Amino acid sequence: MMADPVTPRFLRACAMQPTEVTPVWFMRQAGRYMPEYRAIRSRHTLLEICRQPELAAEVTMQPVNALGVDAAILFADILLPLIPMGIGLHFAAGEGPIIENPVRIEADVEALRDAVSPMESLAYVMETVRLVRRELADRIPLIGFAGAPFTLASYIIEGGSSRNYVKTKQMMYQAPSTWHALMGKLARVVADYLACQVASGAQVVQLFDSWAGALNHDDYTTYVLPHSRAVLRDLRLSGVPTIHFATGASAFLPQMKAAGGTVIGVDWRAPLDWAWQQLGADVAIQGNLDPVALLAPRDEIEQRVRRILQQAAGRPGHIFNLGHGILPETPVDNVRAVVDMVHEMSAAIRSQEQTSTFKEAIRL
């Protein structure tokens, strides 16, 4: 099958169609490792940037202009949908998000609003989407995103970040009806929020389940899968590709696929070819360079990039990415170099495969 020269290669990869090179983008590609972002951040808080569409659009475009990536991802924060639900939050220096009114009991869940009308209550996000689409002018696609219900639930139950998710699991085990009521509300809000991003111009959306790796196989299947499935099922109506990503999820990749997603993102803990075997050949896959590898010497980075591309073996449906977000101390030049490596190496791999196929055909 010949590659489509019109549709952007990132969208073709999402649809498991051939591409001339492997598309590449990076989670957290806009952010603290870029001097341009740090300059803006020195004058504004994170929430101020998110709430000012012109600033958020500028930050979204910074890596597009600097790196040559194949997709832009909206600059926002995964916790934004919690605000219209009635959650108070702020970001403490060096500590991450702080939830001002944690959700711990049934009454707390009942007090949360789930009819939040994201097009209005999160209008600043939708305006950012529109501004970025206008700026991109269809050069590359724009990815919208949201935190998955489990990840959002863990933040508001724990009161912020956590190592062991003790309070979260206590609610799951001790008050399952309260847990499912909370997850149901979050799933409805997340689905509406992503649908509004699509209506505003996002061409792909990614569901980030950043902390799902804190769970085992059975807990994920019982307490998380039905709610992620509800979000992704509703998004099928939007007609855009969906990326379903979780860290530390190698033990339940088939369950993630069952929850849904056009593309399944995998982290760096499992070889990409093994992960694809677990998922099956009928789904696209995104990943999976260790983010810390971007701090390695250039020849080490090159070896690791080549290994991942060899594991993908040029199959349609591979999107190169990290196994999680870019770290703040990452050199920009290394990120830019990986984009070039992926494009150049994947083109060479495809050329070799075509030559081998041609020689085999002649022998036959």
Our answer to whether residue 28 is catalytic in this structure is yes
165 SS3 class: coil
Residue corresponding to tokens 């101390």: 329
Q: Which two tokens stand for residue 171?
A: 């609610």
Our answer to whether residue 12 is catalytic in this structure is no
Our answer to whether residue 33 is catalytic in this structure is no
Measured between alpha carbons, how far is 312 from 273 in angstroms, rounded to an integer? 6
Select which of 33, 37, 155, 165 is catalytic.
155
Which helix H or strand E contains 153, and what residues bound it? Answer: helix 149-158
Our answer to whether residue 315 is catalytic in this structure is no
**HSE toward the beta carbon, residue 199, CA cutoff 13 A:** 14
Q: Count H helices, E strands: the chain? A: 16, 9
Contact residues for 271 (Cβ-Cβ < 8 A; gap 6+): 311
Contact residues for 4 (Cβ-Cβ < 8 A; gap 6+): 12, 17, 18
Contact residues for 76 (Cβ-Cβ < 8 A; gap 6+): 50, 56, 125, 128, 145
Measured between alpha carbons, how far is 177 from 185 in angstroms, rounded to an integer? 12
Select which of 12, 28, 188, 304 is catalytic.
28
Select which of 4, 32, 234, 307 is catalytic.
32
Our answer to whether residue 155 is catalytic in this structure is yes
Measured between alpha carbons, how far is 186 from 171 in angstroms, rounded to an integer? 15
The DSSP code sequence of 75-133 is ---TTGGGTTTT--EEEETTTEEEESS---SHHHHHHS----THHHHTHHHHHHHHHHH
Select which of 9, 33, 77, 209 is catalytic.
77
Q: What are phi and psi of 324, to 5 degrees?
A: -170, -165
- For residue 54, give the amino acid letter: E
Measured between alpha carbons, how far is 218 from 209 in angstroms, rounded to an integer? 16
Instruction: Please state, in angstroms and as integers, the Cα–Cα distance from residue 69 to each residue in 53, 60, 223, 287, 338, following that order.
Output: 22, 12, 36, 14, 10
Measured between alpha carbons, how far is 111 from 182 in angstroms, rounded to an integer? 10
* Residues that are catalytic: 28, 32, 41, 77, 155
